[in-house]
């Protein structure tokens, strides 16, 4: 699956698989257009956990 983020404000707009996508960001109003490349259409996706760093919103505050 792909995370689709706004090109202007980086808000997460959608998660999924697609060939063509046009979506308007509710935060900033930018129209985001995406087209999958030919290689992405045939890729098998793994649903295993990935190691990602936590940002400030995901950590406990004191």
Domain map (residue ranges) of the chain: 1-37
- The CA-atom distances, in angstroms, between 26 and each of 9, 12, 14, 61 are 10, 10, 12, 28
Measured CA to CA, the distance from residue 44 to residue 33 in angstroms comes to 23
Q: What are the pLDDT tens digits along the chain (62 aa)?
A: 889 999 999 999 999 998 999 999 999 999 999 998 766 544 444 445 545 565 666 566 65
Question: Residue 42's pLDDT is what?
Answer: 47
- Strands 2-5 and 12-16, by their bridges, are antiparallel
- Paired with 32 in beta bridges are 23
On whether the pTM is more than 0.75, the answer is: no
3-state secondary structure of 39: helix
Q: Which helix (H) or strand (E) holds 41?
A: helix 38-41
Question: Residue 59's pLDDT is what?
Answer: 61
Question: Residue 7's pLDDT is what?
Answer: 93
Question: Residue 36's pLDDT is what?
Answer: 82
């Amino acid at each position: 699956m792909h995370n689709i983020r706004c090109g202007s404000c980086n808000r997460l707009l959608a998660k999924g698989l697609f060939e063509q996508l046009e979506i308007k960001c509710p935060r900033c109003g930018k129209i985001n257009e995406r087209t999958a490349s030919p290689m992405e259409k045939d890729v098998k996706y793994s649903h295993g956990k990935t190691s990602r760093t936590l940002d400030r919103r995901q950590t406990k505050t004191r």
